[in-house]
Amino acid sequence: MATKSLTVEEVLKEKKTHDLDSVKELNLGHRALTDVSCLSKFKNLEKLDLRFNNLTDLQGLKSCANLKWLSVVDNKLQSLSGIEGLTRLTVLNAGKNKLKSMNEISSLVNLCALILNDNEISSICKLDQLKDLNSLVLSRNPISEIGDSLSKLKNLTKVSLSDCRIKAIGSSLKSCSDLKELRLAHNEIKALPAELALNKRLLNLDVGNNMITSRSGLEVLGTLSCLRNLNIRGNPISDNEKSAKKVRKLLPPSVNVFNAKPLEKSSKNAKHVRFDTEDVTFDSHHSKSAEEEEEESKVDRKSKKSSKRNKSEDEEEEEADNEGSKRKKKKSKSNPDIDQVQVEKKEEDAAEKKQKRASPKKLIDAIDDAETSMAEVFSRGDVAKDSEDGVEKNKKRSSVQETGVVRVIDTHKKKKTGNKQSRSAVAELPGKLKSGWEESQSGSKPETLKLY
């Protein structure tokens, strides 16, 4: 293999400067470089991109003490020797190399994100000193066990160990109380441990293509009250629809994506499903949408207030009686428990309602795609509800009660002869979480990072 060395003159010419100390960022990717030892003269270098080169070692970076962000993806590295003294590093991406060990990492005490996917690493070294580490990617390495290597990493939020040789999780993650994303697809796991219940903030879990055969191996899922996305496809227990239905019964109500498909929870999408809400039973197949009921209630309240100002009590009672008789005639034959009141709408309201119905829903993407970033899963894993939320927030007089993941919209109208309430239960998914691979590239300590 031909050698190609980088020179100081080349760097200065590219940066259009003569001052070595002014150079803080360099992008040297895709240049077939084999030697970058000249970079040791750039003392203030903070961000360095060396991806897609032919580097076999990192000895030339020893003197870059101010380096905070380093990418050496897709080189020919067999060792990380040379980076032990780069204690200011916050992001290190050395994926797709030929690394057999990661022991040099243990001294990088300020590291926040570590990506070492697609290497030949067989064991995870002790990471006790990396107190700020929040993202760890070791997928596609011949790692057979996690052990206690992560026992002190309380700030860890994202872990990817897909396509390894892991047979059991055990209690290896019990100290990771902030864990939100866990990818363990394509391993040899037979059951999820009870200790996983300690990861109460877990949002995304991918254990597809493992060896889980029984429902008992998934019992712990019911304790994960924040879980949103779950993938178990490729396991024996999910081979048929009957088994998959049994697993669904274990899931907490927070789950909105199961095996890359959205779970329908809205009453308007479920046929012939009956709900009991404060002694009022209704058939969702015939019930109106939440938006229609809320608009009707708003119009009803306005008409009531105007009638109270302009009419006497006698006139109001007479009008109520007339209105009651009209409602009896218009009541649905198939559903006598619900009063269906036809309220005249303005042309503007009708146009707005038609536009809402025409807006398409966003699709939910699979969470088990190995090339999809974990940050992308957060943003795409939630079922789209932005347009609906915008409309609902602008309705100042809507009577809304928040109850966890279910929003109960009160559309009751009091009568003098009785006080029945009609409510519709509408499933509402949690909001999006913000993520940013760009933030990690800026040089500051990243909150999240693209995972493989």
Measure the CA–CA gap between 170 and 161, rounded to whole angstroms: 14
Helix, coil or strand: residue 151: coil
CB-based contact 229:379 (threshold 8 Å): no
Residues 6 or more apart whose Cβ sits within 8 Å of residue 144: 122, 123, 164, 165, 166, 167
Q: What is the mean pLDDT of residues 110-136?
A: 96
Query: Cα–Cα distance between 205 and 192 in angstroms, integer?
Result: 11
Residues 174 and 172: their CA atoms lie apart, in Å, by: 6
Residue 277 falls within a domain, yes or no?
yes
pLDDT band at 385 (very low <50, low <70, confident <90, very high): very low
Across-strand partners of 275?
282
| Tally of domains within the chain | 1
Query: Which of 181, 235, 230 has its CA nearest to residue 364?
Result: 230
Four-CA torsion 408, 411, 415, 419, nearest 10 degrees: -10
Question: What is the reported pLDDT for 321?
Answer: 52
Per-residue pLDDT, averaged over 139-143, amounts to: 98
Tell me if the pTM is above 0.85. no
Residue 281 lies in a domain: yes
Question: 285 in a domain, yes or no?
Answer: yes
| Domain contains 137 | no
Q: In this predicted model, what pLDDT tens digit does every residue of 2-18 receive, in sequence order?
A: 789 999 999 999 999 99
Q: Give the CA dihedral 273, 277, 281, 284, nearest 10 degrees.
A: -30
pLDDT tens column, 297-321: 555 565 555 544 544 445 544 555 5
Q: Residues 324-377: pLDDT tens digits?
A: 544 444 444 444 444 443 444 455 566 555 554 544 444 334 334 444 444 454
Terminal C-alpha separation, the chain:
29
CA dihedral of 413, 414, 417, 422, whole degrees rounded to 10? 50
Which residue from 20, 25, 65 is spatially nearest to 443, judged by alpha carbons?
Answer: 25
More confident residue, 26 or 310: 26
Is 276 part of a structural domain of the chain?
yes
pLDDT at 253: 94
Query: Does the residue 315 lie in any domain?
Result: no
Nearest to 237 by CA among 197, 191, 195, 203: 191
Domain that holds residue 305: 271-309+398-413+420-429
Would residue 231 count as lying in a domain? no
Q: What is the DSSP string of 272-332?
A: S-EEEETTEEEETTTPPPHHHHHHHHHHHHHHHHHHHHHS-HHHHHHHHHHHHHHHHHHS-
* 305 part of a folded domain: yes
Of the two residues 166 and 246, the one the predictor is more confident about is 166
Higher pLDDT, 292 or 408: 292
Residue 407 near residue 400 (C-beta atoms within 8 A): yes
Q: What per-residue confidence (pLDDT) applies to 78?
A: 95
N residues, the chain: 452
